[in-house]
A and B are shown apart, each in its own frame.
Chain A
Amino acid sequence: MSIHNKKLFLLCLATLAGLFVLQFLLSDYLVLAFTRILILAVFAMGYNVLMGYTGLVSLGHAMFFGAGVYGAGLSSYYLGVSLPVAFLAGILAAIALSFLIGLLALRTQTVSFMIVTLMFSQAAFLLILYFSEFTGGDQGLTLPTSARSFSLFGLEVDMTSDVARYNLALTVFGVVLLGLFAFTQGPVGRLLVAVRENEDRTRMLGFDTYAIKLLAFTVSGGISGVAGALYGLMFGYIGSAFAEFKISIEALLFTLVGGPGTLLGPLVGTGLMTLLIDRLSGVTTAYLIVIGALLIVVTLWFPTGILGTLRDRWLPWLK
């Protein structure tokens, strides 16, 4: 197998190595913050497959994150399955949901696509509230202590330990990053970009663009589910707040800030934004105002994001 875009591959490896070393340098508080950043970055990377590479702006990715959270959390809470099985259940739930929603939503384009994904996601959120006896609604459910540790291949992992959580998040992040490297930098990635740049021409060249978009949609939703399942199981709590509109907007903002259509952009955007939001929520409860202002600022003056600007100016391989 040959590796396309060797420079980016090396940068990915260097990033992973850097993130591994980071845990020995940071305070406990920041290690926890970076654990969250890594998981949310997986979510944003999933979002980026659809929004950045394929050019389809979804406003409903909270439902796929939520499918991961609830698929994993409910199977652990009610069926008592081990954490790795619950994790897989969450991912499968997200893949199934995104395939189904993709089949419908991809019949529409641009504005309609945004509204349709938004409405499906709101319906999913309201369903969680409607069945709150089963899902815990906005109060949520706390997973039992038996679901706070697991052993896999003879390795005992304790989900209440900061170090274990960070390294688990980093492992999942690394797998998703390298998987997405293979997915986006090879021939399939070129097809996604072709659909983004000119869908009609791609179809004229004989490609089934609906199938390409459905693949992107399902991969995107599935990876969002990976992030959701990991988040729910790692912190032992599931609640309707994970499926809120705000979650979709955060994925959009993280991707926009970091650079849509760049592999590492979502990590940069998630890191910056999460640290900023954490700081701000200490100062004011109205931090949403900053999210709102940033959405406008980025749209107006900075549509290619941080890594996108670097790519356009100096580093064309950064994609």
Chain B
Amino acid sequence: MDIVPYLLLATLEGLVQASVLMLTALGLSLVFGVMRVVNVSHGEFFMLGAVAAWVCANLIPGPPYVPFIAALLIAPVFVGALAWAADWAILKRINYNPEATIVSTIGLMYIIQQMTLITFGPDAQAVEAPFYHTVRFPWFGYSGYKFFIIAVAIVLVGGLLYLLRHSKVGLYMRATQFDKETAQNFGIPVTKVYSGVFAVGAMLAAIGGVLVVPSQQAHYLMGHDPLLLSFVVVIVGGLGSIPGTIAAAILIGMSDGLLSVFFSPTLAKIFSTLLVALVLVFRPQGLFGKAGR
């Protein structure tokens, strides 16, 4: 039997997963990097993006690409606004205390999950892909939509990196990340940067959710796995390091598909959770990072 088509297919599937993971994990990494807090409800923002795509598909008439484009715009705005409100109502008031933030975002996770369960019910919901175009390889045809996912992820991540490196907003963010007090002394509105970063982090997860939902059904508990994988990526890539996060997302997104071919999904998850714990214990700067400041 020919090995090439299998390798090609596994690589493509890995790249699609890596793209979505890159968006979601970057959101978590950005929030941790700039604000030094861990957002446990990050997976729920991803889930809300997927559910929003399903709602759009049901409410907006027209060919499938119309509600899809609408969802791609509406979901991040809605989720970003929700995150902004959570930041204003909760995180700001506990002064971004790292431990209190974890406890209250666990609370937020339960609230979002159960609200979704109450409003949308326990069933998994499928959403039609925005377009059907098959890319022909000599051995098999592959969904053109999945190439679109990869393209969107590359464009967004590229845009984000450019923004961070070359814009004033990016400078504000990097300054806040480097030293909050000094940044404040230089007139940088640190509290606004915090609210903005928290909202942008959530929006990235929501876009990941919208993109994934034509190939994976929307469900109120679907946020668990992206949260766990984002944790793995962020921690393996080095806490708060954007290039590390991108590298780790590609590595783990590519290998996750292969791992679940050879091992059971439960075993793969045991491996990931232990990896996160042991990296934090023995190499807190991440597998790729240099010894921290």
A interface residues (Cβ-Cβ under 8 A, vs B): 57, 59, 104-105, 107-108, 110-112, 114-116, 119-120, 122-123, 126-127, 129-130, 249, 252, 256, 286, 288-289, 291-296, 299-300, 303
Q: Are B114 and A288 in contact (CB under 8 A)?
A: yes
- B267-A130 in contact (CB<8A): yes
Closest residue to A120 on the B side, CB-wise?
Answer: B277
A contact residues around B107 at 8 Å (CB): 291-296, 299
Nearest-neighbour CB distance to chain B for A71, whole angstroms, equals 20
Q: Which residues of B84-113 have CB atoms within 8 Å of chain A's CB atoms? A: 90, 93-94, 98-100, 102-104, 106-111, 113
A296 interface neighbour in B37, B108, B276, Cβ under 8 Å? B108
Which residues of chain B are within 8 angstroms of A130 by Cβ–Cβ distance?
A: 264, 266-267, 270
* Chain B residues near A107 (CB-CB < 8 A): 281-282
- Give the CA-CA distance A282 to B159 in the complex, in Å: 50
Whether A299 lies near B113 (C-beta < 8 A) is no
Listed A/B pairs (24) with beta-carbon separation below 8 Å: A110-B98, A114-B99, A114-B102, A116-B280, A119-B280, A126-B269, A130-B267, A256-B103, A289-B110, A291-B107, A292-B108, A292-B114, A293-B107, A293-B111, A294-B107, A295-B104, A295-B107, A295-B110, A296-B107, A296-B111, A299-B90, A299-B94, A299-B107, A300-B93
Sorted from nearest, which 10 A-B pairs have the closest CB atoms? A292-B110, A295-B107, A289-B114, A119-B277, A296-B107, A292-B111, A292-B107, A286-B114, A123-B273, A119-B273
Q: Is B198 located at the chain interface by the 8 A CB criterion?
A: no
Give the Cβ gap from A138 to chain B, nearest Cβ, in Å. 12
Q: CB-defined interface of B270-293 with A at 8 Å, one 1/0 digit per residue?
A: 100110111011101000000000
Say whether A129 contacts B266, CB under 8 Å: yes
Question: Which of A129, A249, A299 has the most CB atoms of chain B within a 10 A radius of its CB?
Answer: A299
When C-beta atoms are compared, the residue in chain B nearest to A111 turns out to be B98
- Interface residue ranges, B against A (CB under 8 Å): 37-38, 90, 93-94, 98-100, 102-104, 106-111, 113-115, 117-118, 228, 231, 235, 264, 266-267, 269-270, 273-274, 276-278, 280-282, 284
**Which among A115, A126, A129 is the interface contact of B38 at CB below 8 angstroms?**
A115
Identify which of B109, B111, B267 gathers the most chain A CB atoms within 10 Å of its CB: B111
Q: Which residue of B lies closest to A101 (CB)?
A: B277
Contact: A111 with B102, CB < 8 Å?
yes
| A296 CB contacts on chain B under 8 angstroms | 90, 104, 107-108, 111
Q: Is the interface of B mostly helix, strand, loop or mixed?
A: helix
* Complex CA distance for A123 and B102, rounded to whole angstroms: 20
Say yes or no: A108-B99 contact (C-beta < 8 A), given A289-B111, A294-B107.
Answer: no
Instruction: Report the nearest B residue to A106, measured CB to CB.
Output: B281
Query: Can you name the residue of chain A whose Cβ is closest to the Cβ of B38?
Result: A111
Chain A residues whose CB sits within 8 angstroms of the CB of B277 once the complex forms: 104-105, 115-116, 119-120, 123
Q: Which residue of B has the minimal Cβ distance to A300?
A: B93
In the bound complex, residues from chain A placing their C-beta under 8 Å from that of B114 are: 286, 288-289, 292
B41 nearest in chain A by CB position: A292
* A108 touching B281 in the complex, CB below 8 Å, given contacts A114-B102, A126-B266, A300-B104: yes
- If A112-B284, A126-B269 touch, whether A291 touches B102 (CB-CB below 8 Å) is no
- How many Å from the CB of B235 to the closest CB on chain A? 8
Residues of B within 8 Å of A293, CB to CB, are: 107, 111
B108 partner residues in chain A, CB cutoff 8 A: 292, 296
Residue of B at shortest CB range from A103? Answer: B281
| Option from B117, B264, B270, B284 in Cβ contact (under 8 Å) with A286 | B117
Q: Is the CB of B94 within 8 A of A289?
A: no
Bound-complex Cα distance A288 to B274 (A): 27
Q: How far is the CB of B232 from chain A (nearest CB, A)?
A: 9
A150 smallest CB distance to B (angstroms) = 35
Chain B residues near A112: list those with CB within 8 A.
Answer: 280, 284
> Which B residues are CB-close (under 8 A) to A115?
38, 231, 235, 276-277, 280
**With the chains together, A291 CA to B284 CA distance in Å?**
32
* Nearest CB in chain A: distance from B50 CB, A: 20
Contact call A289/B98, Cβ cutoff below 8 A: no
List the B side residues contacting A256 at CB < 8 Å.
103
> CA A293 – CA B90 in complex, angstroms?
11
Identify the closest chain B residue to A284 (Cβ): B118
Q: With A57-B103, A129-B266, A300-B90 as given contacts, are A116 and B281 in contact (CB-CB < 8 Å)?
A: yes
Q: How far is the CB of B239 from chain A (nearest CB, A)?
A: 9
Give the distance to chain A from B104, nearest Cβ to Cβ, in Å: 5
From A104, which residue of chain B is reached at the shortest CB distance?
B281
Q: Cβ of A126 and Cβ of B270 under 8 Å apart?
A: yes
Most buried by A among B94, B264, B273, B276: B273
Contact B115 A119 (CB under 8 A): no
Q: Which residues of B have CB within 8 Å of A249?
A: 106
Please determine whether B106 and A292 come into contact, CB atoms closer than 8 angstroms: yes
Count chain B CB atoms within 10 A of each CB in A107, A288, A291, A292 and give the residue with the most. Answer: A292
Give the Cβ gap from B112 to chain A, nearest Cβ, in Å. 8
